[in-house]
Amino acid sequence: MSILEGDFYTNLNFKGDITVENRKQIYNFVIKWRDKFRDQNINYIELVDHWMADDCAALGFEMDCGHAFFEKYGRAANNFEALKKIIDEVTDIPLLGSAIYSR
């Protein structure tokens, strides 16, 4: 089960110094954006404008052009099929959040 399915909040190991409040904020971010990307009727501008970037910045994710994620996971940073193979191994939420922010 990927981090975007099932009980994300209770099943994911958060690495680093992430408070309970920050976990809740990250969970809300995931649910909000997962639902937006799944919505077949969404206005495309909602997916590509600044709102997701604003949410990423508010959570402390860093814009690093995906370099840190690429260093750890290689081509999975830019290849959907490779990402699908490793996504269940990704437990470093700040690293993943920064990769999402950078895309």
- What's the pLDDT at 41? 94
The answer to whether residue 28 scores a pLDDT higher than 90 is: yes
Provide the phi-psi class of 30: left if phi over 0, else alpha when psi is between -120 and 50, else beta: alpha
The answer to whether residue 30 scores a pLDDT higher than 50 is: yes
Provide the phi-psi class of 9: left if phi over 0, else alpha when psi is between -120 and 50, else beta: alpha
Q: What is the Cα–Cα distance from 73 to 82, expressed in whole angstroms?
A: 9
Q: In 3D, which of 35, 62, 59 has the Cα closest to residue 46?
A: 35
- pLDDT average, residue stretch 94-103: 88
Cα 99 to Cα 20, 55, 85, distances in angstroms: 22, 13, 16
Q: What is the Cα–Cα distance from 8 to 46, expressed in whole angstroms?
A: 24
Least confident of 11-25, 32-46, 73-87: 11-25
pTM of the complete model: 0.72
